[in-house]
Structure 1
Amino acid sequence: MAGREHRYKVKVIWTGNEGEGTSTYRGYSRAHQILAEGKPTIEGSADPSFRGDPERWNPEDLLVASLSACHKLWYLGLCSQMGVTVLSYEDEAEGVMVEVAGGAGQFEEVVLRPHVVVAAGSDLEKAHALHRKAHEMCFIARSVNFPVKHEAEIVPAAG
């Protein structure tokens, strides 16, 4: 039996034609916009290593952010269902991408490093276990072909 299907529609518009299109590798900007109906536009570019604008989001940033956000959303939902009260959650996620000969490359891993503050008296063991469950449930992590690890720090609130 097939599960429910969800579709996500976005539009990516290249805005980097500086007058001569892609007539030369250095002659165009990597600037683009990512749009979805009813949502703010994301100003994107390439990673600065690939002639991109360091002030704009690049696809690699967005992939790491997607993994982090998906994990967080699952974690918070599971905690709310299992009696663990999360008071704050911050993740300093990091992805490692390796280039190979010929210019291609791939991510080798992403490490999520959430710092979670839970209400005093919360079950810390359960709070850690729910990170493992969130990882198993995260749609994005289940869809990538590289390891997504998590190194959670969970601390009880003072008091």
Structure 2
Amino acid sequence: MSRPHHYRVDVEWTGNRGSGTDDYRNYSRDHVIRSGDKPAIAGSADPTFRGDATRHNPEDMLLAALSACHMLSYLHMATVAGVVVVAYGDAAEGTMETEGDGGRFTEVVLRPVVTIRADSDPGKALAAHEAAHHACFIANSVNFPVRCEPRIVVEPGLGNRD
């Protein structure tokens, strides 16, 4: 049975430098993203598109959403499989191609490095990535491939610690 979940964000353009969009070079791409009482996100365009490199851009946020969704799904799947994760990091990369005034992402590659407790099964830890990929809401919502190239690190046993 399907259960709808609704989300809302407010996006406000803050880049009017006094003349609006009267010329492509006369306005800033700066904006603020808000969601409830959470901290605001300072956004802009990618610097390639005249944006501010010190602010998050939509492409960064799409990549972050895919990476975070996979991580959260993975932590759940690892727990269910009896794998104890003690550290998780990802160096995700995405490829976007532009054409004319538009473009699209063509691929995202997630490269999580997961450290598991010495008494956990590395095979189960690796398998949990496949289950997480199929469970990730964001990956299931995009129309381009999201690949996962995980690496499992086994934490040294208690007897090996200094």
Answer yes or no: is 1:35 the counterpart of 2:50: no
Would you say how many aligned residue pairs link Structure 1 and Structure 2? 157
**TM-score, L = length of structure 2:** 0.95
AA in 1 matched with 2:28:
S
Residue type of the partner of 1:95? Answer: G
TM-score by length of 1: 0.97
Q: Deviations over 1:72-131 (max 9, x none)?
A: 00000111121000000000000000011x221100000000010000021111111110
Asked if residue 149 in structure 1 is aligned to residue 144 in structure 2, the reply is no
Structure 2 stretches lacking a partner, 5+ long: 158-162
Between the aligned partners of 1:103 and 1:94, the Cα distance in structure 2 is 23
Local SS of the residue matching 1:72: helix
| 1:48-67 alignment runs, 5 A limit | 48-67=47-66
**Correspondent of 1:129 among 127, 137, 141:** 127
CA RMSD of aligned residues (A): 0.7
Residue 114 (structure 1) aligns with: 112
Structure 1 residue 38 displacement after superposition: 1.3
After the TM superposition, list the runs of 4 or more consecutive aligned residues in structure 1 that deviate by more than 6 angstroms.
Answer: none
Q: Distance in 2 between matches of 1:126 and 1:36?
A: 36
What SS does the aligned partner of 1:60 have? helix
After superposition, give the CA deviation of every residue in 1:44-79 in whole Å (9 maximum; x if it has no partner): 000000000000000000000000000000000111
